[in-house]
Amino acid sequence: MNGALSLEQAPPISVPLRFFLTLPAFGALAAFILLWAGADALASRWHPATLAISHLVMLGMFCMVMFGAMFQMLPVLAGVRAPWPRLTGGSCHVLLTGGTLLLAIAFLSGATALFVVAAAMLGLAVAVFAGVIGNGLLRAPQPAASVRGMRWALLGLVVTAIAGITLALGYGLPGMTLLRHPLTDLHLAWGLVGWVAALIVVVAFQVVPMFQMTEPYPHRLRRWLAPSLFVLLTWLSLAVSGLVPGSAAATLALATLLAAFALQTLLLLARRRRRVRDTSLYFWRFGMLSLSLSTLLFGLLQLFPTRPDSRLPLALAVLFVAGFGLSIVFAMLYKIVPFLVWLHLQQRLAARSVAVRGYRAPAMRAVLSDAPVRRHLALHLAAVALLLGSLWLPLLVRISAALWLAGLVLLAGNLAGAMRCYIKQSRRIDQLGDGPVCD
């Protein structure tokens, strides 16, 4: 079984890590803009600072971590090698980094030409990524539920990208006319649910039982959740376009499915088998609590659309993006990065010689200890709470931005610490003699 797997199939550790290490920089940039814009950034979804921040977070943080994780996970999950991982991973990283920066500058400056360049770079990044990873997922010899789920999430990314590029070209090309409001709503729905939530769901099916020591998710949920999200989003898109009825029913069904996932995850975490103190568990719990609350709010806004308070949709966005999405991104990073360090050290050791027995690669907790992660959790919880509070008390927004910034600096330091551990241990393995060496 899986005898075709070989060391060469896993990409070098530099491929996923370049994505992971870039993420805090984009987060910090978004926090700087929030610090600079203050309460204006929460006044309207069309404010230039709001658009710049949201794209820095969605592209520079979510896409960054997901692209890196997928390049790493493709061989493990699908048993298929990403072709030329350094070249394809490196190209995706450069295009995503450059395109995201240019798009943020375009929103802030209004320079129309930049929208066209940013759209081209981001379109290419998604095309390379979808080509490499999509091809790998399609060629999986025995596709597991997770591989099938990732195909749906990847389709969600492609739809999001097509809508996003169309919108960006609408800014950049004066002669191009768009129905900007409904297209933006669809871009948002596909990006947040069809790509981010769908991929988090699929990844959670793997990593929650593995890293949080829980029972597996129910088989039906694993089998049907991702395709159901895709079908409902397609229905919603057609309904918004006026081709079929029932947009409210589709959105309510989406909210119900995501709430079911959140509650199932909270239930599994409550029944976890191992009771070791682990901060990533709290990131997961807070993320799922935020997802539950956001789906509840989403449902209420659908059922009572005439409610006048415009801050509620913003609260929904804060809960979904910062409370749910970012919490899960941090939870995953804090497990995946130490695991990768351990794994690549073991592979490096195995590739060198069987004679260096006795060397022990540092365990995950030795690569990244829990205390600094706990400090980041405290900053993250406070930042989300203050950002929510700032919708009603605007003076809190800059304090929240400062806390985001501090949290991201801490994250960068934690990831850099894991990298230093990898470099130090790699040198040590390279210097090992033929005799047994104990760590």
Question: Is-contact 371 417, C-beta < 8 A?
Answer: no
Helix ranges, 307-369 (H): 311-317, 327-352, 364-367
Number of residues that bind other proteins (CB under 8 A): 35
- Minimum CB separation of residue 141 from other proteins in Å reads 13
Kindly state the smallest distance separating residue 329's Cβ from other proteins, in Å: 19
3-state secondary structure of 164: helix
User: Exactly one of 76, 87, 113, 179 binds other proteins (CB under 8 A); which one?
Assistant: 76
DSSP line for 16-63: HHHHHHHHHHHHHHHHHHHHHHGGGGGT-TTSHHHHHHHHHHIIIIII
Least spacing, CB of residue 72 vs other proteins, in Å:
10
Residue 159 CB neighbours (<10 A): 20
Q: Tell me the window of 197-205, 261-269, 305-313, 341-349 that interacts with other proteins (CB under 8 A).
A: 341-349
Separation of alpha carbons 343 and 137, rounded Å: 22
Q: How many CB atoms lie within 10 A of CB 367?
A: 22
| Binds other proteins (CB under 8 A): choice among 90, 98, 209, 417 | 209
Tokens in use for 27? 């987060």
Q: Which is nearer to other proteins, 215 or 309 (CB)?
A: 215
Which token pair is 176? 């191009």
When binding is defined by CB under 8 A, the residue of 270, 276, 371, 438 that contacts other proteins is: 276
Query: For residues 72 and 348, what is the distance between their CA atoms, to the nearest angstrom?
Result: 16
Distance CA(264)–CA(227), nearest Å, equals 18
Among 24, 68, 79, 89, binds other proteins (CB under 8 A): 79
Residue 2 sits in the site that holds other proteins (CB under 8 A): yes
Q: Which is nearer to other proteins, 110 or 141 (CB)?
A: 141
Kindly state whether residue 270 participates in binding other proteins, applying the rule CB under 8 A.
no
Nearest to 254 by CA among 319, 305, 189: 189
For other proteins, give the closer residue by CB, 311 or 357. 357
Among 58, 376, 29, 377, smallest CA distance to 197 is for 58
Cβ proximity of 319 and 290 under 8 Å? yes
In the complex with other proteins, the residue whose CB is nearer, 55 or 344, is 344
Q: Classify burial at 142, counting beta carbons within 10 Å of its beta carbon; exposed 0-12, middle 13-18, buried 19 or more.
A: exposed
* Segment near other proteins (CB under 8 A); pick from 32-40, 127-135, 169-177, 342-350: 342-350
Pair of tokens at residue 320: 């979904």
CB of 357 to other proteins, least distance (A): 5
**Least distance in Å: CB of 169 to other proteins?**
42
> Per-residue x/- marks for other proteins, 129-168, CB under 8 A?
----------------------------------------
- Compare residues 77 and 153 and give the one whose CB is closer to other proteins: 77
d(CA 180, CA 334): 38
Amino acid letter for position 117: V
Among 243, 270, 354, 371, the residue binding other proteins under the rule CB under 8 A is: 354
Which residue of 77, 80, 137, 383 would you call a contact of other proteins, by CB under 8 A? 77
When asked if residue 416 is in the footprint of other proteins (CB under 8 A), the reply is no
Q: Which parts of this chain interact with other proteins (CB under 8 A)?
A: 1-3, 5-7, 9-10, 76-77, 79, 209-211, 213, 215-216, 273-274, 276, 335, 339, 342-343, 346-347, 350-351, 354, 357-358, 360-361, 363-364
